[in-house]
Amino acid sequence: MIVVIDGPAGSGKSSTAKAVAQQLGIQYLDSGALYRAATLVFIRANEVTEAFLELLKENQILFQFKEGNFEVFIDSENVSEEIRTMEVSNLVSTVASMPQVRAHINRLMNKVVEDGMFIADGRDLGTAVFPNAVLKFFMVADAETRAIRRLKDLKNTGVEVTLEDVIQNIEERDHTDSNRAADPLMKANDAIEIDSGTFTFQEQVDFISEKIKPLIQSHN
**What residue ranges bind ligand DC (CB under 6 A)?**
9, 14, 31-33, 35-36, 92-93, 96, 122-125, 173, 177
Answer whether 56's CB lies under 8 Å from 104's CB. Answer: yes
CA distance 126 to 100: 20
Our CB check for ligand DC shows the closer of 9 and 154 to be 9
Q: What does the angle CA 85 – CA 20 – CA 172 come to, to the nearest 5 degrees?
A: 35
Shortest distance (Å) from residue 37 CB to ligand DC: 10
Residue 113 falls in which region: left (phi positive, over 0), alpha (psi -120 to 50) or beta: alpha
CA distances from 147 to 155, 174, 200, 212 (A): 12, 12, 17, 29
**CB closer to ligand DC out of 32 and 208:** 32
As measured in angstroms, the least distance from the Cβ of 202 to ligand DC is: 21
Residue 56 CB neighbour total at 10 angstroms: 22
Closest CB to ligand DC among 59 and 127? 127
| Smallest separation (angstroms) from ligand DC to the CB of 182 | 9
CB closer to ligand DC out of 15 and 216: 15
Least distance to ligand DC, CB of residue 92, Å: 4
